[in-house]
């Protein structure tokens, strides 16, 4: 090879990394960095409804959403009652949905990991709720929980469990319960799939070793299964919580945040603020709050489940 | 300490019979090795003893107790696995403690046992590391430690050295021997490596096809194989098998027709083989029992041409083609100057001959050979 050829080759070699990574970086910048920066900027602005001009208002959007107005009612002395109530709704909705679907998903995954007859068929069947569009699932559950002709009231009446139809979606607490049921139904399959994949990676010999060591079932789960499942739990919970915090579809379709504001969660509040009330600045501010909260939750999850045998 | 008794043990998986009615007495304090090719049922047998598989039929006794229905941890056994099966997220100390903790052993006893075992295996400085930070050899020691610390009646070892490199394997083999001498715990060991089996065992059980083909002291089994499988499996390079027809010589003595040069059957076997006159039988001879004869053509000396010369350091293995076209391997001294294409004369050591039935593979003279051993 001539000296010129060698030089050219080296030059091409040096270009390899920028050429391959470059487009990805540009893409990431376009879809992540730019919108995030735009979100942060918007959160500090307010659109004048008359002139349609964006004005810089500093942290006033945050102040208006999170803290009580002067002279207005306040929770704990300073907080905006709406903020507190919607946060509580979000915590209840996300907390119950994630906890129930996680425990249910783990149980089913453990079951499907055993040598059962028809296991392959069952594995396929459990995914069905998840592959349905969320809006469709929402509509389906709204109909199921409908007071007059809903399937659930129908079944309960038929079996003589209730005498009068229950107004599931027009009672605050019941509406939240209905939302949680629908959410669990939609998202449990996702948990099952992720945890099942994790379970299949546990080395069989470790169960043998634990059996010989005299570990009880519980101890085997805790000392063998759980450590290997931690990365899957981390992925499942992270994605699950992120999905739920920003999930709008089910809530919007099933209850629209109501009755009243009984099921208004952060995601529906954000949508209402930004789209229905046409206030992009406060909407963006809520987006920032949502984003920050998500980061904190992910950090906590990592600290709990981040350590696993795979990085031992 | 305990003996282990297997009686007509059977294990079937769906349509496959992995263990096909084996019976064996494993004496207290013995080191018994199950050896055989992959899929012969040796690991399944070990797992049956461990309680990790349930027997389809037959009986397993550890000590005086029938343990067929006992769980693994109720059997007072400890097992060393092929891939060590160390808990990767636990430190070496916690790996060793785990079994004791599951049995509610008092803390001070756990500490003492772990300390003693670590000292015995020289792994004290590794106690706070995780398995991933250890070399294969060190992981192997920890796996042994986890078994030893439990002080069980029986150790079960499933090919524990197979993941180590050749040098380390030899070293660990010696250490296992030493450990067994120190602890005297009954050990059942599974391997496909016949050298490992020969060096470690005081009782060897050669398995094939779910059945024990032969049991005995390693040297005895090596010198007196009951059938062609055992004869061929033990020893490297493996035993030569030469097929020929039994005929009567002019002298009236029996001989095996191997082309130009017949092989004379020693007198002590003649009576036994007489009924097979005119039938084909198989002569078995180990390569190390084949030597190069300097005497020229004589009785029981077979001329041939060297096809391959394999110097192996401590010996040189020759592959020689006999006049009949059959090939025979001979292990000769490394300083012997032989080259490919050389004409050589092979002498078969008279005391090391075996004769087998070509159909069943059974030795035709097994009982005669073992009787001769006992009386001599």
Least confident window among A17-31, A257-271, B215-229: A257-271
In chain A, residues with a C-beta closer than 8 Å to the C-beta of B89 are 227, 307-309, 312
In chain A, residues with a C-beta closer than 8 Å to the C-beta of B85 are 203, 205-206, 208-209
The whole-number pLDDT of residue B33 equals 94
Nearest to A312 among B47, B78, B132 (CB): B132
E strand or H helix that includes residue A45: strand A45-47
Backbone angles phi, psi at B259, to 5 degrees: 80, -135
The nearest CA of chain B is from the CA of A223 a distance in Å of 8
Half-sphere exposure of B248 (CA within 13 A, CB side): 8
Residue A15 lies in a domain: no
Predicted confidence band of residue A94 (pLDDT cuts 50, 70, 90) = very high
The nearest CA of chain A is from the CA of B52 a distance in Å of 7
The whole-number pLDDT of residue B355 equals 92
Closest-approach residue (CA) in chain B for A228 = B89
Half-sphere exposure of A8 (CA within 13 A, CB side): 5
Look at residues B156, B167, B169, B161 and name the one whose alpha carbon lies nearest to residue B31. B156
- The domain of A193 spans 81-311
For the purposes of burial, counting CB atoms within 10 Å of the CB of B356, is it exposed (0-12), middle (13-18) or buried (19 or more)? buried
Query: Is any Cβ of chain B less than 8 angstroms from the Cβ of A157?
Result: no
Nearest to A214 among B73, B81, B88 (CB): B73
Distance CA B203, CA B207 (A): 13
Looking at residues B125-142, what average pLDDT do you find? Answer: 89
Distance CA B93, CA B142 (A): 9
Let me know: does B81 contact B139? Beta carbons within 8 Å. no
The whole-number pLDDT of residue B298 equals 65
Cα R_g (chain A), whole angstroms: 25
Burial A43-65 (b: 16+ CB within 10 A, else e): bbbbbeeeeeeeeebeebbbebb
B79–A208 CB contact, under 8 Å: yes
Residue B293 clears pLDDT 80, i.e. is over it:
yes
**Tens of pLDDT along B76-129?**
889 999 888 899 889 999 999 998 888 888 899 999 989 988 888 888 898 999
The whole-number pLDDT of residue B189 equals 93
Nearest to A205 among B51, B81, B150 (CB): B81
> At which residue do the structure tokens 């004048």 appear?
A48
**Tens of pLDDT along A125-136?**
888 888 888 888
The whole-number pLDDT of residue A311 equals 67
Residue A78 clears pLDDT 50, i.e. is over it:
yes
Query: Is any Cβ of chain A less than 8 angstroms from the Cβ of B110?
Result: no
Burial B1-11 (b: 16+ CB within 10 A, else e): ebbbbbeebbb
Dig out the tokens for B110 from the structure.
């756990």
Residue B375 clears pLDDT 70, i.e. is over it:
no
Predicted confidence band of residue A254 (pLDDT cuts 50, 70, 90) = confident
Look at residues B49, B6, B117 and name the one whose alpha carbon lies nearest to residue A208. B49
What distances in angstroms separate CA B201 from CA B187, B216, B222, B366, one per listed residue?
Answer: 9, 10, 12, 22
Closest-approach residue (CA) in chain B for A220 = B102
Let me know: does A219 contact A239? Beta carbons within 8 Å. no
Distance CA B332, CA A248 (A): 84
The whole-number pLDDT of residue A125 equals 84
Can you say whether residue B121 is alpha, beta or left, with left for phi > 0 and alpha for psi between -120 and 50 degrees?
A: alpha
Residue A270 lies in a domain: yes
Question: Does the predicted interface ipTM exceed a cut of 0.85?
Answer: no
Nearest to A214 among B85, B99, B130 (CB): B99
Nearest to A213 among B51, B82, B98 (CB): B98
The whole-number pLDDT of residue B260 equals 67
Distance CA A238, CA B348 (A): 75
Residue A110 clears pLDDT 70, i.e. is over it:
yes
Residue B333 clears pLDDT 60, i.e. is over it:
yes
A214–B103 CB contact, under 8 Å: yes
CB atoms within 10 A of CB B84: 22
A224–B87 CB contact, under 8 Å: yes
Please state, rounded to an integer, the average pLDDT across all residues of chain A.
Answer: 86
Closest-approach residue (CA) in chain A for B49 = A212
The nearest CA of chain B is from the CA of A213 a distance in Å of 4
Looking at residues A63-89, what average pLDDT do you find? Answer: 80
Let me know: does B242 contact B328? Beta carbons within 8 Å. yes
E strand or H helix that includes residue A55: strand A54-56
The whole-number pLDDT of residue B105 equals 86
Domain with A265 in it: what CATH number?
A: 1.10.3720.10
- The SS3 of residue B202 is coil
The whole-number pLDDT of residue A312 equals 58
Residue A300 lies in a domain: yes
**Tens of pLDDT along B254-270?**
888 876 677 888 888 88
B160: which residues sit within 8 A by CB, 6+ positions away? Answer: B80, B81, B82, B84, B140, B143, B144, B172, B176, B189
B72–A211 CB contact, under 8 Å: yes
Residue A55 lies in a domain: no
Residue A42 lies in a domain: no
Partners of B255 in the β-ladder: B247, B264
Question: How many domains, in total, are found in chain A?
Answer: 1
CB atoms within 10 A of CB A139: 15
In chain A, residues with a C-beta closer than 8 Å to the C-beta of B150 are 213
Residue A185 lies in a domain: yes
The whole-number pLDDT of residue A107 equals 92
A259 preceded by a cis bond (ω within 30 of 0): yes
Least confident window among A108-112, B59-63, B166-170, B282-286: B166-170
In chain B, residues with a C-beta closer than 8 Å to the C-beta of A214 are 72-73, 99, 102-103
Dig out the tokens for B367 from the structure.
């009982």
Residue A18 lies in a domain: no
Backbone angles phi, psi at A157, to 5 degrees: -70, -45
Distance CA A218, CA B235 (A): 48
Chain pair A-B, CB pairs under 8 angstroms: 68
The whole-number pLDDT of residue A255 equals 85
Looking at residues A279-299, what average pLDDT do you find? Answer: 88
**Tens of pLDDT along A153-185?**
888 888 878 878 788 888 888 889 989 998 999
Select from A212, A228, A310 the residue whose CB has the most chain B CBs within 10 Å, as the one to mutate to test that interface: A212
B83–A211 CB contact, under 8 Å: no
Query: Is any Cβ of chain A less than 8 angstroms from the Cβ of B132?
Result: yes
Dig out the tokens for B263 from the structure.
């092989």
Let me know: does B161 contact B83? Beta carbons within 8 Å. no
Residue B297 clears pLDDT 80, i.e. is over it:
no
Select from B14, B80, B102 the residue whose CB has the most chain A CBs within 10 Å, as the one to mutate to test that interface: B102
Domains defined for chain B, CATH in brackets? 4-215 (3.40.50.300), 240-375 (2.40.50.140)
The nearest CA of chain B is from the CA of A230 a distance in Å of 11
Residue A273 lies in a domain: yes
Reported in sequence order, the residue ranges of chain B that DSSP labels E, i.e. its strands, are: 4-13, 16-26, 31-35, 57-62, 65-66, 77-80, 154-158, 186-191, 203-208, 211-216, 240-248, 254-257, 263-264, 280-285, 290-292, 301-311, 316-322, 327-332, 343-348, 354-356
Dig out the tokens for A100 from the structure.
């129930």
Query: Is any Cβ of chain A less than 8 angstroms from the Cβ of B70?
Result: no
**Tens of pLDDT along B179-234?**
888 888 899 999 988 888 888 999 999 999 999 999 999 999 999 999 999 999 99
Query: Is any Cβ of chain A less than 8 angstroms from the Cβ of B52?
Result: yes
Least confident window among A72-76, A106-110, A263-267, B145-149: A72-76
């Amino acid at each position: 090879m001539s000296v010129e050829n060698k030089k050219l080759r080296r030059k091409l070699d040096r270009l390899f990394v920028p050429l391959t990574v470059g487009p990805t970086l540009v893409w990431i910048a376009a879809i992540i960095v730019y919108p995030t920066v735009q979100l942060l900027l918007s959160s500090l602005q307010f659109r004048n409804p008359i002139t349609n001009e964006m004005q810089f208002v500093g942290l006033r959007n945050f102040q208006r959403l999170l803290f009580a107005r002067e002279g207005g009612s306040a929770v704990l002395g300073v907080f905006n009652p709406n903020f507190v109530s919607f946060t509580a709704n979000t915590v209840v909705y996300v907390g119950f949905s994630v906890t129930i679907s996680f425990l249910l998903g783990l149980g089913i995954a453990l079951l499907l990991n055993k040598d059962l007859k028809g296991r392959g068929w069952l594995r396929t069947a459990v995914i069905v709720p998840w592959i349905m569009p969320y809006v469709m699932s929402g509509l389906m559950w709204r109909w199921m929980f409908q007071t007059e002709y809903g399937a659930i009231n129908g079944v309960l009446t038929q079996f003589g469990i209730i005498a009068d139809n229950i107004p599931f979606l027009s009672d605050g607490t019941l509406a939240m319960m209905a939302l949680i049921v629908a959410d669990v139904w939609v998202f449990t399959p996702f948990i099952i799939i992720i945890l099942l994949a994790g379970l299949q990676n546990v080395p069989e010999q470790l169960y043998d070793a634990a059996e010989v060591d005299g570990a009880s079932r519980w101890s085997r789960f805790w000392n063998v299964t759980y450590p290997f499942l931690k990365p899957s739990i981390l992925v499942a919970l992270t994605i699950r919580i992120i999905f739920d915090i920003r999930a709008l579809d089910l809530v919007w379709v099933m209850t629209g945040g109501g009755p009243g504001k009984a099921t208004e969660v952060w995601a529906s509040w954000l949508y209402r603020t930004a789209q229905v009330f046409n206030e992009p600045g406060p909407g963006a501010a809520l987006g920032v709050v949502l984003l920050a909260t998500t980061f904190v939750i992910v950090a906590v999850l990592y600290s709990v489940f981040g350590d696993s045998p795979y990085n031992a | 300490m305990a003996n282990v008794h297997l009686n007509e043990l059977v294990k079937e998986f769906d349509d496959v019979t992995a263990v096909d009615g084996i019976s064996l007495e494993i004496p207290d304090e013995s080191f018994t090795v199950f050896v055989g090719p992959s899929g012969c049922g040796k690991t399944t047998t070990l797992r049956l003893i461990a309680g990790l598989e349930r027997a389809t039929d037959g009986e397993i006794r550890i000590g005086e107790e029938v343990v067929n229905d006992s769980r693994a941890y109720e059997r007072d056994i400890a097992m060393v696995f092929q891939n060590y099966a160390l808990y990767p997220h636990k430190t070496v100390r916690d790996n060793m403690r785990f079994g004791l903790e599951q049995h509610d052993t008092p803390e001070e006893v756990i500490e003492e046992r772990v300390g003693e075992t670590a000292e015995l295996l020289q792994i004290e400085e590794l106690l706070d590391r995780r398995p991933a930070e250890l070399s294969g050899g060190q992981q192997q020691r920890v796996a042994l430690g986890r078994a030893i610390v439990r002080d069980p009646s029986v150790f079960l070892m499933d090919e524990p050295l197979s993941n180590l490199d050749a040098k380390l394997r030899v070293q660990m083999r010696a250490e296992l021997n030493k450990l067994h001498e120190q602890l005297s715990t009954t050990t059942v060991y599974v391997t496909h490596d016949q050298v490992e089996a020969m060096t470690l065992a005081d009782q060897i059980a050669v398995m094939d096809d779910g059945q024990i083909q032969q049991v005995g002291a390693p040297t005895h089994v090596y010198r007196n194989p009951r059938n062609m499988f055992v004869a061929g499996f033990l020893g490297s390079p493996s035993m030569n098998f030469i097929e020929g027809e039994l005929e009567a010589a002019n002298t009236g003595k029996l001989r095996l027709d191997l082309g130009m040069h017949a092989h004379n059957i020693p007198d002590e076997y003649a009576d036994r083989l007489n009924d097979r006159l005119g039938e084909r039988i198989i002569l078995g001879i180990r390569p190390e029992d084949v030597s190069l004869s300097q005497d020229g053509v004589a009785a029981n000396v077979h001329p041939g041409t060297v096809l391959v010369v394999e110097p192996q350091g401590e010996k040189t293995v020759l592959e020689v083609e006999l006049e009949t076209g059959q090939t025979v391997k001979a292990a000769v001294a490394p300083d012997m100057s032989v080259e490919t294409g050389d004409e050589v004369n092979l002498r078969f050591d008279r005391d090391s001959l075996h004769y087998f039935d070509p159909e069943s593979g059974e030795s035709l003279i097994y009982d005669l050979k073992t009787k001769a051993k006992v009386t001599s």
